[in-house]
Structure 1
């Protein structure tokens, strides 16, 4: 799985490095990966209120999906901030988007934990579930995630995982993976392209 993600990043750099020359819009020049139909985008999880949520609930909208966990010390909070800022950049067009956070750490990320964590932006739809349901969701996006023990730490363990924003079409099919580190303006432009298709 890790080899697949490395290959995805490599393909994205090669495929996007020379694309769109001459355009005036700010878009990422590296790290945008076109995804095949092997990426199903299927998930069957619960939201911060414990209500069941599946990918089919968002049919007709473009999904912007990010996998992370609430105990992440630095990377996930930054990327979640980018997701929130992207919605601000989109303005009225944000109503065409389902911004979704899926936990890679359902063992600790209960609905209550998600509700507390995402209190700053109720537009983001935070999802968790059983260990099995979370693993199936990751499988649908081909996302690597693995627990790493932290001896001597109060946290006990951390989660190593792929750092991608996933974009789907309006039928829920993932069509782009965007390596984390993109700016809100760049990500918003990619989302707009999916909205207009």
Structure 2
């Protein structure tokens, strides 16, 4: 049996927490890089957006966040006009839902985990809102229009809330709305079978009657916190 010199053992023990801290920092920076991609301003490069997100994370010039959500940096806007098809086959635009607010999520029906979780949260928010839910439309926008036809969406969205709308469209239409909402998505091979999956960002968007984003919620946000933010947006008009 080879004995380890006491000095080396001490050094190894000291390096373990350093490695752990380094891993946490790497994950944090990766998260900030993803946020920089989603929240970059029009015409802003990814590097500039990353520096701005880093400054906001450190607290420099950070405004008070909305309840349960991510505060969009000044000058950053998400959302806008879109033309899609709902689960009944009807052509819709952002004006279709102009009578209130929308809780919008970008995902796909073949998603094995995160999409059902986030759509379930939206369903819980609708229940939490009570009578105020009549002024809110929950929406799933598919990022997989090849498989998510109106018929497929119709059978899927009712599992999460009776009011939930499923929107699809051509590949070009989905790419356009995803660009406006800064949604990342990409087809990836499923190693277990011949089907493919979709890698994608996973935020819940609170959208105003003009199609612009009022609030942005991280994956796993508490339904109560989202409902509080929705009520605040409803009061603001």
Structure in which a larger fraction of residues adopt strand:
1
After TM superposition, the score normalised by the length of structure 1 is: 0.84
Once the two structures are superposed, the pairs formed by residues 101-112 of structure 1 within 5 Å of their partners are: 101-112=140-151
- Give yes or no for contact 1:9–1:33 (8 Å, CA) kept in 2: no
Structure in which a larger fraction of residues adopt helix:
2
After TM superposition, the score normalised by the length of structure 2 is: 0.71
Q: CA deviation at 1:137?
A: 1.1
Name the residue aligned to 2:231. 192
Confirm or deny that 1:5 pairs with 2:38. yes
- Give yes or no for contact 1:164–1:177 (8 Å, CA) kept in 2: yes
- Give yes or no for contact 1:39–1:140 (8 Å, CA) kept in 2: yes
Gaps of 5+ in 2: 1-32, 40-49
**C-alpha separation between the residues in 2 aligned to 1:12 and 1:190?**
21
Q: CA deviation at 1:115?
A: 1.0
Q: CA deviation at 1:172?
A: 2.5
Q: CA deviation at 1:38?
A: 3.8
2:229 alignment partner, SS class = helix
Structure 2 CA distance for partners of 1:111 and 1:57, relative to 1, 3 Å: same
Name the residue aligned to 1:32. 70
- Structure number with larger C-alpha Rg: 2
Name the residue aligned to 2:105. 66
2:71 alignment partner, SS class = strand
Confirm or deny that 1:53 pairs with 2:92. yes
1:33 alignment partner, SS class = coil
Structure with the bigger RCO (C-alpha within 8 Å, sep 6+) is: 1
Gaps of 5+ in 1: 21-26
Q: How many residues align?
A: 189
Which runs of structure 1 show a deviation greater than 3 angstroms over 4 or more consecutive aligned residues?
6-15, 17-20, 35-38
RMSD: 2.7
